[in-house]
Amino acid sequence: MTDMIQPNRQVTVGKQKMTPSEAFVETMVANGVTDVFGIVGSAYMDALDIFPAAGIRFIPVAHEQGAVHMADGYSRVSGRHGVCIGQNGPGITNFVTGAAAAFWAHSPVVLITPETGSMTIGLGGFQETDQLPIFSKITKYQGHVMNPKRMAEITARCFDRALLDMGPTQLNIPRDYFYGDIECEIPKPIRIGRGAGDEAAIEQAAALLASAKFPMIVAGGGVFSAGALAEAAQLAELLHAPVACSYLHNDAFPASHPLWTGPLGYHGSKAAMKLMSQADVVLALGTRLGPFGTLPQYGLDYWPRDAKIIQVDADAKMLGLVKSITVGINGDAKAAAAALVARLQGKTLACSANKAERDARIKREKSEWSAELERWTHETDAYSIEVAKSSKSLHPRQVLRELEKAMPRGAMVSTDIGNICQIANSYLRFEQPRSMLAAMAFGNCGYAFPVACGAKIAAPERPAIAYVGDGAWGISFNELLTCAREKIGVSVVVFNNGQWGAEKKNHVDFYSQRYLGVELDNPSWAGVAKAFGCEGITVDRLKDVGDALQRSVQAQADGKTTVVEIMCTKELGDPFRRDALSKPVRHLAKYKAYV
Ligand SMILES: Cc1ncc(C[n+]2csc(CCOP(=O)(O)OP(=O)(O)O)c2C)c(N)n1
Ligand SMILES: [Mg+2]
């Protein structure tokens, strides 16, 4: 049957008689949707039936959480909507973690949530739950189709708002509303440009930058989502200002640029942080300066409290939310940076006077950090030395360095939540935007692999690589099924250290090594991959790391996913949440020993 289908991407024009299913699908076509992730369900089968005729690929996944993560990765790489759909009730509740993760990654994901039929809502029939409250705090907009005649209108609004508000939206549809006859017109997408922001604020920011003796730029996710790389570089060059990437946005500025200094935040670049501590004016370009990403690191409380801070963000509510600011600019990072360049060009800049001195300082900090990283082959705390000394396994830092060296051009790398994945922050450099797909502030284990799958579908020509700890892998490896079935070729580097390491680190630092629930007894993950119809390579020699990564990348061209399982020691780097833990206090006699 499917052989007969000729996909037609022409959107129906003018008011016409159609079914709500047709209105829904046509509105997706009008928004350029070509891929939808989900698990099949009767709730939306009437619409699903015509996806192929509309030129929309349905990618069936193993778990609906995977569908949302894939849609997230897809949108982060393409800049277009990521779309997912599921069965009312359990299919939709499975979306929750993915939606929260996409919310904090600012990904324009549209969650399509068919609901119990309108005639039985509230009766406690089959697969019923109130689907709007569940997502109310993890979406930017919730559209509910309260009458089938409004299907196209509400669908269109969900797509518009996901881009406008830079985050997930929910389209909730009582399942009987896909049927019937309606008359409607497919709305044209509404795309709103932002511009540079308030003139007076730009003027004030330009004056501050012109008077700065040590200006510094923090490039955030807004730099690549606005396509502002060239403008950011122009501004940095004009001021000869060092550029730090905001936490987990290592791809916000090209690593080969002489003014690049690396990422701020957990396991970020000491060079970036040390330079930051010297700044008298900071331009935070397209970053919300999230609290976790600006915490002290390496014992370095680097945030320059006396500096003047200029913050540019497309979301006005982020301005001055976390860090005090001198000037807030609600605008597009590209347009704002261009406006600042235009005002500063040809002006006398205070920072020109000490350019040579600052340049020497930038070079020195960068080379010192690079040399320190080179020497830092393993962790040196007492616990790490003890567990690594009799181990034949590999030091994670050395593995990360080898992976960095073997990284193919144009790679998209997703990273999970875990000790080794976070240390990777020191070793991930990019030349191209939309390349680093870290689990952002929601911080859920199990994020990286499905995100890499979505990224690969959005950009099949680019290598997709996921970094995953063995614990997080246990949460997410079910999507190997999707890779094998749908011929999605990605590389998964699984760091097998036999433990939920990041949490174990808290047992070491705060709970006198009373380990509980942190040891992992793993099967051969390479063997499991093969059983799923994928490739698997076990690596236990450092010299094989790069080759294994490269082989896995080659297999991507054949639509083959490879698990590169790397046997790592149990050593552990700096903890995640030193800021949020304290030594245990016990008052009851029976718990006295637990300190
Ligand atoms: C879904 C979820 N459950 C639990 C946690 C708490 N958590 C944070 S890091 C971590 C350990 C990760 O272990 P692993 O993936 O093996 O990586 P490693 O730390 O060993 O490198 C856990 C359990 C979380 N972040 N997300
Ligand atoms: Mg682990």
User: What digits encode the pLDDT tens for the residues 530-546?
Assistant: 999 999 999 999 999 99
130-153 average pLDDT score = 98
Cβ–Cβ under 8 Å, residues 491 and 512: no
Residue 217, pLDDT above cutoff 60: yes
Lookup result for tokens 């174990």: 504
Point out which residues pair with 109 in neighbouring strands.
Answer: 82
CA–chain centroid gap for 235, Å, is 26
Cα 303 to ligand 1 centroid, rounded to whole Å: 28
Q: Region 359-369: what's the mean pLDDT?
A: 98
**What's 254's DSSP letter?**
-
pLDDT band of 558, cuts 50, 70, 90: very high
Dist. CA 472 → ligand 2 center (Å): 8
Q: Which atom of ligand 1 is nearest to the CA of 444?
A: 26
Ligand 1 within 6 A of 497 CB? yes
Residue range 433-445: mean pLDDT, rounded: 97
Task: Encode pLDDT of 83-132 as tens digits.
Answer: 999 999 999 999 999 999 999 999 999 999 999 999 999 999 999 999 99
Q: For residue 8, give both structure tokens.
A: 């037609």
DSSP single-letter state for residue 116: S
28 lines ligand 1 (CB under 6 A): no
* Ligand (nearest to CA of 572): 1
For tokens 């240390």, the residue is 423
Question: Maximum CA pair distance of the chain?
Answer: 77
Give the CA count within 13 Å in the CB-facing half-sphere of 45: 4
pLDDT number for residue 3: 60
Averaged pLDDT score across all residues of the chain: 97
Whether residue 399 has its Cβ less than 6 Å from ligand 1: no
Q: How far apart are CA 442 and CA 101, in angstroms?
A: 5
Nearest CA owner, ligand 1 atom 3: 445
Segment 283-297, tens digit of pLDDT: 999 999 999 999 999
- Tell me which residue has its CA closest to atom 11 in ligand 1: 500
For residue 576, the model assigns a pLDDT of 85
Choose the weakest-confidence range: 3-12, 401-410, 420-429. Answer: 3-12
Question: What is the pLDDT at residue 2?
Answer: 53
For residue 77, pLDDT over 60 is answered with yes
pLDDT-derived band of residue 4, with 50, 70 and 90 as boundaries?
A: low
The alpha carbon of 496 and the centre of ligand 1 are apart by a number of angstroms equal to 13
Tokens of 491: 């590389």
Q: Are 417 and 470 in contact (CB under 8 A)?
A: no
pLDDT higher than 60, residue 234: yes
- Residue 470 in contact with ligand 1 by CB distance below 6 A: yes
Least confident residue range of 244-253, 411-420, 570-579 = 570-579
Answer for the pair 477, 525: CB distance below 8 angstroms, yes or no: yes
What per-residue string of b and e applies to 439-477 under the rule 16 or more CB within 10 Å gives b?
bbbbbbbbbbbbbbbbbbbbbeebbbbbbbbbbbbbbbb
Report CA(393)–ligand 1 centroid distance (Å): 20
> Which atom of ligand 1 lies closest to the CA of 443?
25
Query: pLDDT tens, 499-524?
Result: 999 999 999 999 999 999 999 999 99
CB of 419 closer than 6 angstroms to any ligand 1 atom: yes
Span 442-477, pLDDT tens digits: 999 999 999 999 999 999 999 999 999 999 999 999
Q: Identify which ligand lies nearest to the alpha carbon of 506.
A: 1
Tens of pLDDT, residues 314-345: 999 999 999 999 999 999 999 999 999 999 99
Confidence label for 1 from pLDDT (cuts 50, 70 and 90)? low
Question: By alpha-carbon position, which residue is closest to atom 9 of ligand 1?
Answer: 418
Render pLDDT for 185-207 as a digit per residue (tens, 0 to 9).
Answer: 999 999 999 999 999 999 999 99
Residue 5 has pLDDT above 80, yes or no: no
Mutate to test the pocket of ligand 1, among 500, 503, 576 (most ligand atoms within 8 A of CB): 500
Q: How buried is residue 273: exposed, middle or buried, by Cβ count under 10 Å (0-12/13-18/19+)?
A: buried
**pTM check: above 0.95:** yes
The answer to whether 177 touches 145, Cβ cutoff 8 Å, is: yes
